[in-house]
Amino acid sequence: MAVEDTHSQSETVKITKVESEEEIERCFEVMSLAFGKDKPMFNSMYPEHDTTEGRRNGTNRLREMWQSKRDDVDFHYLKATIANQIAGFAIWTIMTPTKNLESEKAEEEFNLKAMYPDQPLAQEWLRQIWPIYITQRRDVVLADSQDDRPVIALELCAVRPDMQRKGVGVLLSSWGVQYGKENGIREAVLEASIAGVGCYTKAGFAHQSPIDFGPVDRSLTQVRNFPTIVFMRTGPLQTEQKDV
């Protein structure tokens, strides 16, 4: 499903699938620039992404993820382009209780020792933060045993700082909502920074619930601060017929 939106004669935003390794490299650059050093979750999953080694490791990890999922219809790696320049990047995943739902154990989702060799506190930070971060998402996917329709989750959405306020984030995040309506998906969910709430509200996410990291060992703030994040969901999506 390609999406196109024109804000002016010179700025047409196009949403299409990522098609090549070279595009993945550019998408990682978009993520790194967009999140900087101020987003604890991103920084924990892509350590030192603003350094040469960290950028290489992060790009390789993202490339491996994309290569393993590129032919899987449950995973959608999307790029937003303006005048053939990648302005934004998003990952959408379709989940059911038995398919694609992340483990609550960080060790099953990340190679902590490879990510943080000789840094046990950094490993422990992600080990404790991760299950809380995904709890509300998991609860939605597992909630209704009578409704076996899948849930679609926005894993990541990033927009280049110099391409923001052009509607890129809204288009990337509304893509999954529309896809869900057209494909019988129960609802869409995401975890948002406070700064992203307005964008996601415009895309159709109506419900907000803060994620409470209170149970995490406070001494781990010496590694990095805890995230300030809200869980958002659309509520039930009304199925729409695809255009023929």
User: Where exactly are the structural domains of the chain?
Assistant: 11-233
The pLDDT of residue 144 is 73
Specify the fold of 11-233. Answer: Aminopeptidase (3.40.630)
Angle between helices 21-35 and 52-69 in degrees, nearest 10: 130
Closest to 186 (Cα-Cα) out of 232, 153, 213 = 153
Chunk the chain into consecutive blocks of 10 residues (it has 244) and report each block's average pLDDT, rounded to whole numbers.
51 94 98 94 96 96 97 98 96 96 96 96 98 97 85 97 94 98 97 95 95 97 96 92 58
Cα separation, 129 vs 123, in Å, equals 10
The pTM of this model reads 0.93
pLDDT number for residue 8: 42
Task: Give the pLDDT confidence score for residue 27 in this predicted structure.
Answer: 98
Q: Tell me how crowded residue 119 is: count the other CB atoms within 10 A of its CB.
A: 14
